Amino acid sequence: MKKYKIAVVGATGAVGIEMIKMLESRRNFSVESIKFFASQRSVGKKLIYNGKEIVVELLREDSGKGIDIALFSAGATVSEKFAPFFTADNCFVVDNSSAWRMDKDVPLVVPEVNAYELKKDRKLIANPNCSTIQMVVALKPLHDFAKIKRVIVSTYQSVSGAGQNGINELSEQVKAWAIEGQQPIVANKFQYQIAFNLIPQIDVFTENGYTKEEMKMTNETKKIMGDCSIEVSATCVRVPVFRSHSESIWIETERPLSPSKAKELLSATDGIQLLDEPENKKYPMPLFAENMQTTYIGRIRSDISTKNNALTFWVVSDNLLKGAALNAVQIAETLIKNKLV
């Protein structure tokens, strides 16, 4: 069986660590060698892969030489600079940043939705925004059946979406609050205190009043679903949750779609688990989705405010897994399964 040379770029970050764990635990392809890259700050640090210590190396322009697939999660600036060197060295790059997502020559892939976009000669592949991934996983089977015209979504996004510094900031603020009066609550990573608060701003505002995060959900959904006619209006909110993003999603469809049909379609979809028994208080919650590779859906109901075909539901998934590391590893698995690498 063929074995593959893998690299993780940004291996010390919140997503990078999960990429390593996914590569260890899923074992859907054989790894011949693995390299970990990060910034100067982490050079020499040791990370464990399958019980072995691997020393973190400095990312350089020639780091992609001899690598088959590199998973990047080191931010857009690093991707913009280094991904082209990797692909020039014939290495596939699965990039978790926003750098290349809307580039027309770069496939933006959620394997359950558009694995057909992966091609041998398209070496650079973009991993979508975390909130978009879990939403399109839910939308795809419903769209195939009833054609979605419009989506209104509000997100409840955990602090890990902002990386390790986001996790640290919530943790430190909670500690400072608990030792009342002894430590000031300091906000660096987020615009305001995030502990015991909600911040209705993720990324910067654009000219139309939406944030960049919200426009990612609009634009990336159209691209992944391959349908520019789907209209998406998003409100993205940062919440004091460590892991897992939650979303309240409303859809209007061209054809009728009952809650029972939606449940049937969603339960038959890979990667989705229905958790929809309100009478037993069963519905998805971020604490339950943490560390799980599944997208959970519940609270499915018809919209009582309109006679149009409209449905509303609640979706929760671990943003560091399906929203980032897992989706990237699934892209690598698909490349290998389809013999593209």
Catalytic residues: 130, 245
Taking alpha carbons only, the member of 323, 299, 123, 315 closest to residue 216 is 323
Q: How far is the CB of 16 from ligand A2P (least distance, A)?
A: 5
Report the distance separating Cα 122 and Cα 124, nearest Å: 6
Q: Please tell me whether residue 19 binds ligand A2P under the rule CB under 6 A.
A: no
Our CB check for ligand A2P shows the closer of 59 and 146 to be: 59
Compute φ and ψ for 227, nearest 5 degrees: -145, 100
DSSP 115: G
- Expressed in angstroms, the distance from the first to the final Cα of the chain is 13
Least separation in angstroms between residue 300's CB and ligand A2P is 33
Check residue 74 for interaction with ligand A2P (CB under 6 A). yes
Measured from the CB of residue 189, what is the shortest distance to ligand A2P in angstroms? Answer: 9
User: For 177-257, where are the E strands, in sequence order?
Assistant: 231-238, 245-253
Cα Rg, the chain, nearest whole Å: 20
Which of 61/270 has CB closer to ligand A2P? Answer: 61
The interface with ligand A2P within residues 27-66 (CB under 6 A) comprises: 37-39, 41-42, 59
Tell me the pairing of strands 245-253 and 231-238.
unpaired
Whether 160 and 169 have beta carbons less than 8 Å apart is answered as: no
Choices 125-133, 158-166, 305-313, 317-325 (CB under 6 A): range interacting with ligand A2P: 158-166
Distance in Å, CB of 17 to ligand A2P, minimum: 8
Task: Identify which of residues 38 and 266 has a Cβ nearer to ligand A2P in the complex.
Answer: 38
Q: Where are the alpha helices (DSSP H) in 179-253?
A: 212-225
**Coil, helix or strand at residue 14:** helix
Q: Which of 165, 267, 306, 308 binds ligand A2P (CB under 6 A)?
A: 165
Number of residues that bind ligand A2P (CB under 6 A): 18
Return the closest-CA partner of residue 87 out of 98, 104, 100, 77.
100
Nearest-approach distance from CB 232 to ligand A2P, in angstroms: 25
CB 101 within 8 A of CB 126: yes
Q: Closest distance between ligand A2P and the C-beta of residue 58, in Å?
A: 7
CA distance 270 to 277: 20
Task: Assess contact for 296 and 95: CB atoms under 8 A.
Answer: no
Contact with ligand A2P (CB under 6 A) among 107, 111, 161, 163:
163
* Strands ordered across the beta sheet of 57-58: 57-58, 30-38, 3-9, 69-72, 92-95, 124-126
Options 4, 6, 7, 12; binder of ligand A2P; rule CB under 6 A: 12
Within 279-338, the residues that bind ligand A2P by CB under 6 A are none
Q: Is 14 in the site for ligand A2P (CB under 6 A)?
A: yes
Residue nearer to ligand A2P on the CB measure, 20 or 118: 20
Q: What is the spatial distance between Cα 172 and Cα 337, in angstroms, rounded to a whole number?
A: 43
Nearer to ligand A2P, 10 or 298 (CB): 10
- Taking CB under 6 A as the rule, does residue 168 contact ligand A2P? no
Shorter beta-carbon distance to ligand A2P: residue 111 or 163: 163
The pair of three-digit structure tokens given for residue 216, joined into one six-digit string: 């990612």
- Closest to ligand A2P by CB, 124 vs 153, is 124
Give the one residue of 4, 6, 7, 16 binding ligand A2P; rule: CB under 6 A. Answer: 16
Q: How far is the CB of 282 from ligand A2P (least distance, A)?
A: 33
Give CA–CA dist 168/238, Å, rounded.
15
* Footprint of ligand A2P (CB under 6 A): 10-14, 16, 37-39, 41-42, 59, 74-75, 78, 163-165
